[in-house]
Amino acid sequence: MAVARRYAQRVSSILAILGSGEIAPNMVKVHRELFARLDAIDAVFLDTPFGFQENVPQLSEKIQTYFDTSLQVSMQAASFCSFERSSELERTQFIQKVSAANYVFAGPGSPSYALHQWAPLNLGETLRRTLEQDGIVCFSSAAALTLGSHTAPIYEIYKVGAELTWLPGLDVLSQAGLRAAVIPHYDNAEGGNHDTSRCYIGANRLAQMEALLPDDVAIFGVDEHTAAIIDLDADTISVRGRGNAYWRLGGSERVLANGTTVALSELRNVPRAPRVQDSSEVVVADQSPQALGELIARNGEGALEALSALVSLATSGGPGRVDPAPLIDAVLVARANARATGQYELSDQLRDAILTIGAEVKDGPNGATWHFRDNL
């Protein structure tokens, strides 16, 4: 679990969209303002947008170092690099980790790659639930593109020359009654003698793409080194940082100037999403090792969620000072069931969880036994 840092209690549901500069010095003030709204911080970052790269550990370390050094906040990684290469247990663990956090951050990478991994997990629903539970979702750069109802496949258009099109987004903005496609890096000028604004695809191509959107879908642009902070409780949007934000709908563009706060009712183009009452996510009420082990053994509804919770307990050593024996025994029961049904990959994951807390497992003709390593 992330280390909780105490702040004054001013809990609020916030959706923050950063136009870029997710770990830039001038965004420290924005993150600090957001953290100040939480009584205690349990923060995670999602590595999925850059999960296709070979330097995922180095990029993750850079993000963690930024938050730890600049903001004195421990940012835990909620790692999920590939849907196709993940097990059902790993998918469940990822969603549980995101659901348990009250500050969810994601940043650079590829929006289309991130959507391909997140869409089958219904991550949009999970993030909307975070907002319902007085949490904060802060997405920047590539990740910010996924928050709308539609997402532009930036790399495919800008680097590959793919046909202009839109992808279905996570639609987290609908929680605020906004139906829009988010475009960060709106004022980018890296191209010099060619237009790289509008997140590198240029104003001309974005205008052509805008014509492909349904009439009720807006373009929500955010300049680089700029934050658009949507406060769902106050029903406002505030612009912080270096530049502006922009709301384009029906051929007209409204500038949301830096330093201003605007009522969402002035922008809202669809009804606010209903409160998330029911969830497909199964919540295991009793988190004791014995109860989790029994639920896993029954292999019914909630068994996978219980297994995920049990692995998490085993990996962390459990909350506080606890006797690890019931944890290990319960994991061994689950491991035996996995081996009996041919789920050898899952069996290996459970064995690794036991090794993580300093115990060794020995398989024998009468089952598995365990003991702590002598150097502990």
Torsion of CA 261, 266, 269, 275, to 10 degrees: 60
pLDDT attached to residue 351: 76
Q: Does an H or E element contain 137, and which?
A: strand 136-140
Cβ proximity of 84 and 120 under 8 Å: no
pLDDT attached to residue 376: 43
CA 342/CA 21 separation, integer angstroms: 47
Flag whether pLDDT at 15 surpasses 80: yes
pLDDT attached to residue 300: 63
pLDDT attached to residue 375: 46
pLDDT attached to residue 298: 63
Cβ proximity of 241 and 27 under 8 Å: yes
Is the pLDDT higher at 254 or at 332?
A: 254
Taking alpha carbons only, the member of 227, 225, 219, 266 closest to residue 247 is 219
Residue 295 C-alpha from the chain's centroid: 28
Mean pLDDT, the chain, integer: 84
Computed on alpha carbons and rounded to an integer, the radius of gyration of the chain in Å comes to 22
Q: Worst-scoring range by mean pLDDT, 18-22, 255-259, 275-279?
A: 275-279
Taking alpha carbons only, the member of 278, 264, 80, 41 closest to residue 173 is 264
Flag whether pLDDT at 118 surpasses 80: yes
pLDDT attached to residue 6: 37
pLDDT attached to residue 1: 38
Flag whether pLDDT at 29 surpasses 80: yes
- In the block, tokens 């879908």 appear at 217
CA 350/CA 314 separation, integer angstroms: 9
Q: Which of 86-90, 133-137, 296-300 is modeled with the greatest confidence?
A: 133-137
- Residue 203 dihedral angles phi and psi, to the nearest 5°: -65, -35
Name the DSSP class of 85.
T
CA 226/CA 17 separation, integer angstroms: 8
Q: Which two tokens stand for residue 92?
A: 């469940």
Name the DSSP class of 27.
G
Flag whether pLDDT at 323 surpasses 50: yes
Q: How confident is the model at residue 278 (pLDDT cuts 50, 70, 90)?
A: very low
pLDDT attached to residue 299: 63
The CA-atom distances, in angstroms, between 76 and each of 67, 72, 105, 289 are 10, 13, 10, 23
Residue 173's CB: how many other CB atoms inside 10 A? 25
Flag whether pLDDT at 200 surpasses 90: yes
Residue 362's CB: how many other CB atoms inside 10 A? 9
Domains of the chain: 14-266 (3.40.50.880), 289-372 (no CATH)
Flag whether pLDDT at 355 surpasses 90: no
Residue 236's CB: how many other CB atoms inside 10 A? 16
Q: Rounded mean pLDDT of 269-274?
A: 76
Q: Worst-scoring range by mean pLDDT, 45-54, 96-105, 247-256, 299-308?
A: 299-308
Flag whether pLDDT at 2 surpasses 50: no
Cβ proximity of 5 and 40 under 8 Å: yes
pTM (two decimals): 0.78
pLDDT attached to residue 331: 76
Q: Residues 6 or more apart from 294 whose CB is under 8 A from it?
A: none
Q: Residues 6 or more apart from 23 whose CB is under 8 A from it?
A: 62, 63, 66, 107
Q: Residues 6 or more apart from 27 whose CB is under 8 A from it?
A: 18, 21, 140, 225, 227, 241
Flag whether pLDDT at 119 surpasses 60: yes
CA 357/CA 111 separation, integer angstroms: 36
Strand, coil or helix: 330? helix
CA 243/CA 222 separation, integer angstroms: 8
Flag whether pLDDT at 8 surpasses 80: no
Q: Which of 4-8, 59-63, 319-323 is modeled with the greatest confidence?
A: 59-63
Q: Worst-scoring range by mean pLDDT, 22-36, 77-91, 169-183, 202-216?
A: 22-36
Which parts of 41-80 are beta strand (E)? 43-46, 75-78
